Amino acid sequence: MKKWMMTLGMALVLTACGAADDPDEVVQSPTVDEHGEEAPATENDDSVFEIAVIPSQSMGEMQTGLDNLEAHLTEKLGREVVVEQYPNYNAVVEAINYNHIDLAFLGPLTYLIAHEQSGAQAIITQEVDGSPYYFSYIITHNDREWDDLDDMLEDRADVDFAFASISSTSGHLIPGLHLRQLGFYESEDDHEFKQIQFAGSHDIVTTLVQDQTVDAGAVDSAILEALMKEDDQNGGTMREDIKVIWQSEELYQYPWVVPAGMSDELIAEVQEAFYEIADEEILRIFGGATRFVEADDSQYADVLEAAREFEMLSLD
């Protein structure tokens, strides 16, 4: 087992629903393959290109960036692009598996479930400050006397702990696996803490820790830094209030995923459209990204190993 697996231990998932049909427009039925599944979009297809995203923050905080992304891709791909949000992990995985959407922004764990089930492939990720990596953090309030995770675990019977989402890589899988390997956590109902809760997103975990509603929580490092930068601009105290007491090994950033069977030509066209994104509102909502870069399946092998050990390659 890799070294980081011994030292380590997804975010609401949003799926595309499609825009309402124009009553004055003749709309062709979607192409369906022999198994009753919609065929993936092709380079010369003029149908709506549907995208699902998972928000790293609360939905309202992302809407301007998502609207700008929709407009940018519509222009670059030369076809209508719809970016939709829908809070259901099962729905987005099924949408990718059955070619009901053309592109999805997923946490690494959720992507790997789709990859294992249907061959969905990662094609793009984002860099933050020049790096395609991020970390899982366990954070607490700076008023706490804990200097590291060991200190917190000594008081675990009195600790209210918050994960982001049960299907979050950095907000549950990686820190949860580490706590499991230490013998303190199996599930929400089987653990040695005072209380375990799933807050739903990384920004909510951060707020709960800052407000001292919970004693500690697990978050994505890139999202935490983006939240802190925004808080700095507003004259807040988040950077002074939050203390990191545990950090994982490097994790590869969240992937953009296409269904199996999409043509290489269209994949290249989508990748090029993302490489050209410079809109700060778009970049901000994806972990404070600085640019988008190519990704492939091999870069998520370590997370796949962790998911297998934690038996999380299913959303059942």
Element (H, E) at 83: strand 81-84
The answer to whether the beta carbons of residues 209 and 217 sit under 8 Å apart is: yes
pLDDT of residue 63: 86
pLDDT of residue 28: 28
**Tokens found for residue 228:** 């802190």
pLDDT tens digits for range 105-163? 988 998 999 999 999 999 999 998 899 999 999 999 999 999 999 999 999 999 999 99
- Distance from first CA to last CA of the chain, Å, rounded? 26
Instruction: Count how many Cα atoms sit within 13 Å of the Cα of residue 263 in the half-sphere of its side chain.
Output: 9
Sign of the torsion angle spanned by Cα atoms 5, 132, 70, 11: positive
Cα distances (angstroms) measured from residue 55 to each of 13, 65, 75, 101, 255? 7, 11, 23, 17, 13
Nearest to 97 by CA among 117, 123, 124: 117
CA distance 115 to 25: 36
Q: What pTM was estimated for this model as a whole?
A: 0.77
**Tokens found for residue 140:** 């607490």
pLDDT of residue 44: 55
Nearest to 140 by CA among 215, 211, 247: 215
Cα distances (angstroms) measured from residue 251 to each of 136, 171, 175? 8, 12, 12
Cα distances (angstroms) measured from residue 105 to each of 50, 225, 246, 255, 309? 12, 20, 27, 6, 24
Strands (E) across 143-301 are located at: 160-163, 185-187, 190-191, 195-198, 216-220, 242-247, 251-252, 256-258, 291-294
**Tokens found for residue 4:** 């980081």
Radius of gyration of the chain (CA): 20
The answer to whether the beta carbons of residues 163 and 202 sit under 8 Å apart is: no
pLDDT of residue 101: 95
Written as tens digits, the pLDDT of the chain (316 aa) is 333 333 333 333 332 222 222 222 222 223 334 334 556 666 556 789 999 987 555 555 688 999 999 999 999 999 999 999 866 677 788 899 999 999 999 889 989 999 999 999 999 999 988 999 999 999 999 999 999 999 999 999 999 999 998 888 999 999 999 999 999 999 999 999 999 999 988 999 999 999 999 999 999 998 899 899 989 999 999 999 999 999 999 999 999 999 999 999 999 999 999 999 999 999 988 878 999 999 999 999 999 999 999 988 876 5
Domains and CATH numbers, the chain: 3-129+253-309 (3.40.190.10), 136-248 (3.40.190.10)
pLDDT of residue 106: 87
pLDDT of residue 171: 95
